[in-house]
Amino acid sequence: MPTSTASTLNAAKNSTGETQNRFAQPATASAGLLALGIVYGDLGTSPLYTLQTIVHIMGDQFTPDAALGSLSLIFWALIITISIKYCLFVMRADNQGEGGILALMTMTGAHWAGRGRVLIIMGLFGAALIYGDGIITPAISVLSAVEGLNAATSIFKPYTMQIALVILVGLFAIQNRGTGVVGKAFGPIMFVWFATIAVLGGIGIVHHPHVLAAINPVYGVQLVMNHGFLGFTVLGGVFLALTGGEALYADMGHVGRNPIRVTWYCFVLPALVLNYAGQIGNFLEAPNLQENPFFKLAPNWSIYPLVALATLATIIASQAIITGSFSMTRQAMQLGWFPGVRISQTSAEEYGQIYVPFVNWSMMALTVVLAAGFGSSDRLAGAYGTAVSTTMILTTALLYHVMRDRWQWSLCPAAAVTGILLAIDLAFFSANLLKILEGGWIPLTFGALVFIIMTTWHSGVEAMRRRSAARSLQPAEFFAHLRSDNVARVSGTAVFLTRLGNAIPPVIIDYVKQVGTLPKTVIALTVSFEDVPRVRSKDRVRIEQLSDGFWHATVHFGFVEIPDLPAVLRLAKKGGVPILDDARYYIERNDLISRKHRNPLSRSSLALFSFMSRNSAHAIDRFKIPSRALIEIGRRIEL
């Protein structure tokens, strides 16, 4: 009789749609400090360049009324987009504690082969754009802080770029220490940073209390209406105050939903609002269109300490997007949308603390090139925002489907909430499109390239699966051949990795043809990554005995788990499989060639997939298979 264990892979939902799970961490002080160090760096350092960018956009038209209008737009953008959209709605859509646009995509239940392909494209392109944003965030953040030295002296001006590049290289070099170590080191620094900008902002407000009138949204509306196209362009600068908002969701698996929310409402939001208001209050007291309004808040004696603190804060600002990129890579890889890459678990206690060397060093190289190529934070501001604003639109669109399908909201409330959020997202997106020629095309192009890689990899893997299925045999037919050909069964245990779950795969068929024997114990092993973050240990393995000494085992993993096949197979003993310590693992290594008469586009796609397949992570690295026990079987496949 076949032996199996059933998998239960759907999380229970409460009436609000939030997942009831043990990964909703409590909002303790230490968790809040970790959130400051990992999540809020980008949002927290936006005051360094947001108002400066708006001033440069408006020039001489940045009057006191325009200044109040800018502050009003920033305030309400933070309230609606971050406080309401992300903290209240988007972060509610967690997949067993895991966040990010890919987790949101899987919650829609859409499939590439079905009617939901558009939703899959939205999720994949949104994820790809996060990488595009990730190569700009470190560059603009660090450059804006280092340029603060020019507020005190011109001595460092010729060396600003060199200093920034050294800092950027150092930032990426420490990532292998793990996000837990980094977060613990950065959290206290960010606490000091937010406290400092809040105090500086409070001083500016004291100089001109009238600035608090900007809480009235009428000021923002008047700025956009009275200045026509220029007012619309200002929205591109206002949006810089929101960059980093997507990191709240992407990094949720690292920190937890509750610490992120509580830290935002109780500490980060008040500090940001005070600082933006203080900058405008200081401007109303002494208008100056040339100097950075952020550093104008500080007295002359404090410029150097403030620049040092700002530099540390902008290093941390890059941390949120880097850790988010690590999480996104793991999710995409486990769900079958990205080639296998090596992932290091940097903490034995926290599943979300990982390090992805390939992503880390690739982002470092591209970030350094961008920083050196643009040369200043002002120029980089033109390239910043297009990718983030596009991702925010896609997140809102996916959220609507989660509201309707997973939370069971009726049409009217779901459409009303989504309509309001989407209107604001589209306004910012349209304003950011004006930056395309200034460099906005760079993150969009990079995101498009990553999207092509994702879809090409998935299509190639599916084509190989279909090819293998065509060459497979049904169990009854295969065992009949074994008997008719008198294939000898020799001592030993062989584990054959296969993507097929209901047939005898070609790797076993070819082995019998080439060797002429078959080990006494054979396990056809299928690794299945589910669309949930983690699978319970009791649901890990499903075992079916096909014949005497011949088993099929399906091992289930969540998309944030790092597989350990030898450890999991030891659990198979409970199902009656006589696993031996000297088991050998067999895996195919395919040489892909193109069929004749293929069109140039298909040949190019196959060439890209073949390149990725040859250079993807080895099974030893992905599944922790002992190198001494692994045997590869080469095979040429025509696709």
Q: Which of 285-289, 308-312, 389-393, 555-559 has the highest mean pLDDT?
A: 389-393
**pLDDT bracket for residue 27 (50, 70, 90):** low
Domains and CATH numbers, the chain: 29-459 (1.20.1740.10), 473-638 (no CATH)
Judged on CB neighbours under 10 Å (0-12, 13-18, 19+), 118 is exposed
C-alpha neighbours within 13 Å on the C-beta side of residue 513: 8
Q: How far apart are the first and last CA of the chain?
A: 38
| Cα separation, 182 vs 163, whole angstroms | 21
Least confident of 104-108, 178-182, 223-227, 423-427: 178-182
Average pLDDT over the chain, rounded to whole? 83
Please report the beta strands in 304-444, taking only residues with DSSP state E, as ranges in sequence order.
Answer: 344-345, 354-355
Q: Which of 344, 192, 212 is nearest to 274 (CA)?
A: 212
Is residue 276 predicted with pLDDT exceeding 90? yes
Find the angle CA(264)-CA(68)-CA(427) to the nearest 5 degrees: 65
Please tell me the pTM assigned to this model: 0.80
Under a CB-based contact definition with an 8 Å cutoff, are residues 540 and 575 in contact?
Answer: no
Question: Residue-wise over 370-394: b if at least 16 C-beta within 10 A, else e?
Answer: bbeebeebbebbbbbbbbbbbbbbb
Q: What is the pLDDT of residue 345?
A: 66
What is the maximum span of the chain, computed from C-alpha positions, in angstroms? 96
Q: What is the pLDDT of residue 576?
A: 66
Partnered with residue 518 across adjacent β-strands are 489
Tokens at residue 506, please? 């070609």
For the segment 497-515, the average pLDDT, to the nearest whole number, is 85
Tens digits of residue pLDDT in 551-589? 888 888 887 777 878 777 777 666 666 666 678 888 887
Parallel/antiparallel/unpaired status of strands 354-355 and 344-345: antiparallel
CA 402/CA 40 separation, integer angstroms: 26
- Residue 284's pLDDT is 86
Confidence of residue 382 (pLDDT cuts 50, 70, 90): confident
| Whether 142 contacts 172, CB under 8 Å | no
Selected residue with higher pLDDT from 324 and 393: 393
- pLDDT over 50 (residue 314): yes
- Is the pLDDT at 624 greater than 80? The verdict is no
From 1-10, 414-423, 464-473, 554-563, the region with the lowest mean pLDDT = 1-10
Sign of the dihedral defined by the CA atoms of residues 575, 577, 579, 583, in that order: negative
pLDDT class for 13, splitting at 50, 70, 90?
very low
DSSP string, 507-540: HHHHHHHHHSEEEEEEEEEEEEE-SSS---GGGS
